């Protein structure tokens, strides 16, 4: 436990992503509480059709963003490195709405070409999981495909080298391809 800048006792977060998520939640709650106290009337925005429309659009965007990031998390499995983080916009009703988000994933290569191929397939799947992938999602998927292709090339080179060595020892060369793709 430690004491934060406001004097409240808090448990330390297990990861930097969790710490960021806790800070965002605290900031969000504090802003919502302050906004609620400052509001002239909780229904003041309801009187203006343009403001009602804005709130409706923000609610729809919030739902879309949260579903988008949830799809990344669901498809990412073991490569997800923390929860989703969101950027917010305050609506005319003084509530915060998610208008953007991201999910950290581990897109690093593995120690073997086979493991890299499997991981990059999962990275691609996680990147393209939402029904409406963003331009960043497409870039992540493209980078994963390039890393997968490089790993496939390394695997083929290893197999060719093994076949050559076997042939030099007088055996029949065999080429096996075990990678699913």
The angle that helices 113-127 and 49-76 make with each other, rounded to 10 degrees, is 160
Confidence category of residue 131, pLDDT binned at 50, 70, 90: very high
Over the stretch 52-87, which tens digit does the pLDDT of each residue have? 999 999 999 999 999 999 999 999 999 999 999 999
Task: Give me the pLDDT at residue 167, please.
Answer: 84
Alpha-carbon gap, residue 27 to 33, rounded angstroms:
10
What residues have CB less than 8 Å from 96, skipping those under 6 apart?
28, 31, 32, 88, 89, 90
- Give per-residue pLDDT as tens, 31-44: 555 444 444 445 57
The pTM (predicted TM-score) of the whole model is 0.66
Q: Tens of pLDDT along 74-122? A: 999 999 999 999 999 999 999 999 999 999 999 999 999 999 999 999 9
Count how many residues are written for the chain. Answer: 181
């Amino acid at each position: 436990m430690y004491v934060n800048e406001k004097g409240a006792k808090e448990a330390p977060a297990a990861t930097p992503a969790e710490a960021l998520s806790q800070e965002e939640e605290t900031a969000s709650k504090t802003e919502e509480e302050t906004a609620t106290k400052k509001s002239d009337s909780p229904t003041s925005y309801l009187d203006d059709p343009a403001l009602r429309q804005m709130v409706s659009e923000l609610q729809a965007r919030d739902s879309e963003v949260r579903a988008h990031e949830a799809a990344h998390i669901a498809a990412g499995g073991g490569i997800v490195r923390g929860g989703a983080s969101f950027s917010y916009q305050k609506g005319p009703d003084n509530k915060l709405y998610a208008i953007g988000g991201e999910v950290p994933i581990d897109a690093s290569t593995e120690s073997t070409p086979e493991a890299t191929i499997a991981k990059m397939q999962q990275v691609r799947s996680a990147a393209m999981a939402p029904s409406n992938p963003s331009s960043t999602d497409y870039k992540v998927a493209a980078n994963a495909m390039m890393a997968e292709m490089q790993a496939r090339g390394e695997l083929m080179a290893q197999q060719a080298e093994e076949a050559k060595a076997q042939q030099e020892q007088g055996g029949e060369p065999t080429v096996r391809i075990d990678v699913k793709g």
